[in-house]
Structure 1
Amino acid sequence: MAAPRRGRPAKLSLETIVEAALPRDPDQVTMQAVATELGVAPSALYRWVRDREHLLDLVSAELARRITTPDLPTAQNWRQWLLGYARDLREGLHEVPGFAVRLLTGPHRHTGPTAVEEAVVAAFRFGGADEALARQYWYAYSTAIMGWVAAEQNRHHQPAVTPDFEVLIDVLLRGTDQRRPD
């Protein structure tokens, strides 16, 4: 039998809880697993998060924060910015396997557009799309990238042709050229 721990109990914070959950596949994120990793009882987590879904929302928000690029698109760089952000998004989603699928299919309690969504919409606006069309482009762009990453992470998905991510981005952005005003 292990000796009881002496000293102060582990200090918890929202940040330490999210950090403990972040590297796990979303299916593996449980209050018990996170509590065990932090060396606390699961009940201690409930002082910080309502439930597992709340924790997964916090992890999704942290992942989105980490993927956000430091610069914003401009009228001069909007296309290159979208290319760079697509690559950053793909790389960031690969750091946490399973979250691409969660972001695509999981429940979300977001109350409005995120800073990333607004930046991508702004880029498409610089490319000539009106507000409504830019929001549609955001949806197609983000969904296609997350779907691509989810397919890459699916061990059972073996396409006949080796897919090239740059082709996906080219296809996504090519449609914007068709709608640009002359």
Structure 2
Amino acid sequence: MPRPRSLTHDQPASAALAVIDRDGLAGLSMRAVATELGMSTMGLYRYVKDREELERLVVDHVLEAVDTEPPPADAPWGERIETMVRRLRDTVAAHPATVPLTLVHRHRSPGVLRWSETVLGILTRAGIEDRRRVVALRSLLSYVIGAVQLEHLGPLSGRGTAAITALPPADFPYLTETARDARDVSADEEFLGGLAVLLRGLGA
């Protein structure tokens, strides 16, 4: 295949993201991305050093879309945190298969670093500092990452909930009842409800 005369900085990342969105993370390879770009694998190595660099480019490409501007300062701190968390969730949820890469490379992503800096500023002004602030930030990141994966891999509307509903009620009375209720819980209700519980804990 002929090699394009040149690639822009974003083209390898965009091509890799297209591969992941279509084929999942298991489908990501230098060869697959080169094919997506219409060039040889060796040609791609002229622009990207290796698979690890390709992964970092994907994470940067996805997370640069996060809005990291501080929410209005006159809003309660919990509402401001909710705004930031929802922004991160919406961005990551658009490409849920990239979540494992986000875990590995988030500390190198300018988008995540700026998002974290804004969140830490809100927490600090709310009086959450020192080790408590460390735990708060990690808890918020963990919540978003876990929630996106659950929504993508095991949604409440999926087969897992249906299977639990069908368990013998005599053996699992609480689990089967909860699963029946879960069928009517939307993804947004699940996410925002869990976030509200977390924020109440942080404010305690």
Question: Could you tell me the TM-score, scaled by structure 1's length?
Answer: 0.80
The residue number in structure 1 matching 2:12 is: 17
Consecutive unaligned residues in structure 2, runs of 5 or more:
162-178
In the TM superposition, 1:131-142 aligns within 5 A as 131-142=130-141
Return closer, same or farther for 1:72/1:103 CA change in 2, 3 Å cut-off. Answer: same
* CA distance in structure 2 between the partners assigned to 1:177 and 1:158 by the alignment: 33
The residue number in structure 1 matching 2:124 is: 125
Residue 10 of structure 1, CA deviation:
4.3
In the TM superposition, 1:1-182 aligns within 5 A as 9-23=4-18, 24=20, 25-69=24-68, 71-73=69-71, 75-77=73-75, 78-104=77-103, 106=104, 110=108, 114-155=113-154, 158-159=160-161, 160=179, 161=182, 162=185, 164-178=190-204
Q: SS of the counterpart of 2:131?
A: helix
Identity %: 27
Return closer, same or farther for 1:118/1:144 CA change in 2, 3 Å cut-off. Answer: same
Equivalent AA in structure 2 for residue 169 of structure 1: L
**Which has more helix, going by share of residues?**
2
Return closer, same or farther for 1:9/1:107 CA change in 2, 3 Å cut-off. Answer: closer
Residue 49 of structure 1, CA deviation:
1.8
* CA distance in structure 1 between the partners assigned to 2:64 and 2:115 by the alignment: 8
Return closer, same or farther for 1:10/1:111 CA change in 2, 3 Å cut-off. Answer: closer
Question: Could you tell me the TM-score, scaled by structure 2's length?
Answer: 0.72
* CA distance in structure 2 between the partners assigned to 1:100 and 1:66 by the alignment: 15
Q: SS of the counterpart of 1:66?
A: coil
Between stretches 55-64 and 113-122, larger displacement belongs to: 113-122
Residue 110 of structure 1, CA deviation:
2.9
RCO higher in structure (CA 8 A, sep ≥6): 1
Contact in 2 for aligned 1:151/1:157 (Cα 8 Å): no
Consecutive unaligned residues in structure 1, runs of 5 or more:
none
Residue 157 of structure 1, CA deviation:
7.1
Return closer, same or farther for 1:115/1:107 CA change in 2, 3 Å cut-off. Answer: closer
Q: CA RMSD in A?
A: 2.7
